[in-house]
Amino acid sequence: MTASPSRFDPEALAEGVLAGSPALLGRAITLIESNAARDQEPARRLVSRLLPHSGNSVRIGITGVPGVGKSSFIEAFGSRLCEKGLRVAVLAIDPSSTLSKGSVMGDKTRMEKLSGHENAFVRPSPSGGTLGGVARKSRETMIACEAAGYDVLLIETVGVGQSETTVRSMVDVFLLLLITGAGDDLQGIKRGIMELADLLVVTKDDGDNHRRALAHRQELRMVLHYLQSPTPGWKPEVLTCSSLEGTGLDEIERRIDAFRVQQQGNGHWFRRRRAQSLDWVRSLVHEALISSFESHPDVASHLPELEQSVGAGRLDPVSAARRILDCFTYPFVGR
């Protein structure tokens, strides 16, 4: 079976992206995001061609529970950067969007001002199904945006599955947005997420909320004292802002810049990026190994029964693991 030829010409797209054409960048990303078999090889060629021109942006991850004001923050913060002459690309990692039709940027009009700015490129979440698939496409989309000359990448995610860990593994600096309030509001904070963040930002620090935002900041500062920083040499900070009034945004920009200067100075910035790439290779390889193992017919047919025996306490896990592994290696060993 031969795949029909791709609609895309990767060489022409690469040239257009490198020339900074937003229209061709959009088309390049459509190729990257394509699930069609015929598009896989052109997409690979496109990414290879763009790769040497990537790496020159500041990659900023942004997360926070629904309702925290991520879209408003990105709209306000991104617009401010654009007005200063920076070119800003906004991406999203949201494996849930194909199911729920998305809380992340499902509605592009929420970023009306930013989307309309000539320095901005706003791309909604790719429809990719699994987190792994979405993440792969998003990483390649980042390469394309960087090759197109964007200075800042804002990568947004909601707390679905492991999506924050995934985003943390592809960015330079990670922001956790939090809302003012106490008690039940905090239940949305996922396990381990506080320790992924370089900057915590208390949103909606405006009007009647101001006093509560400051109190919340104080509390969070104390909590941070007990948690480990995700970034060697950097002590996570708590800031507040109002996307509505535009306050606090300059300070956030300054702290991100201080982070960048410090991390580039101590060499960790590029060490982290190198480690991220290698981790990515490793996780791609491991995922492929495990998935080919689990889809092996003998494994697939024996696994449920063995798991049931282990679950019922009739079989110890070590023996179960050995029997499952025997299913897999037998066809090769037996030849």
- Cβ-in-10-Å burial (0-12, 13-18, 19+) of 191 comes to exposed
Question: Closest Cα to residue 6, out of 33, 32, 30, 41?
Answer: 41
* Interface with a second copy in residues 286-325 (CB under 8 A): 286, 288-290, 293, 306-307, 310-311, 313-321, 324-325
Residue from 2, 4, 109, 228 binding a second copy (CB under 8 A): 228
Tokens of 95: 């494996």
* Interface with a second copy in residues 260-289 (CB under 8 A): 274, 277-278, 280-281, 284-286, 288-289
Q: Is 51 in the site for a second copy (CB under 8 A)?
A: yes
Give the DSSP letter string of 231-265. STT---EEEE-BTTTTBTHHHHHHHHHHHHHHHHH
Give the DSSP letter string of 17-31. HHTT-HHHHHHHHHH
* Interface with a second copy in residues 83-102 (CB under 8 A): none
Q: Is 333 in the site for a second copy (CB under 8 A)?
A: no
What spatial distance separates the first Cα and last Cα of the chain, rounded to whole Å?
Answer: 29
With CB under 8 A as the rule, give the number of residues binding a second copy.
56
Q: Which is nearer to a second copy, 113 or 274 (CB)?
A: 274
Query: Which alpha helices (DSSP H) does 105-248 contain, by range?
Result: 112-116, 131-147, 163-168, 210-225
Torsion angle, CA of 98/100/105/108, rounded to 10 degrees? Answer: 90
Site string for a second copy, 161-200 (x = CB under 8 A): -------------------------x--xxxx-xx-----
Tokens of 174: 């990670």
Q: Is 55 in the site for a second copy (CB under 8 A)?
A: yes
Site string for a second copy, 136-165 (x = CB under 8 A): x--xx--x----------------------
Q: Which residues bind a second copy (CB under 8 A)?
A: 44, 47-48, 51-52, 54-55, 136, 139-140, 143, 186, 189-192, 194-195, 219-220, 222-223, 225-228, 230, 274, 277-278, 280-281, 284-286, 288-290, 293, 306-307, 310-311, 313-321, 324-325, 332, 335
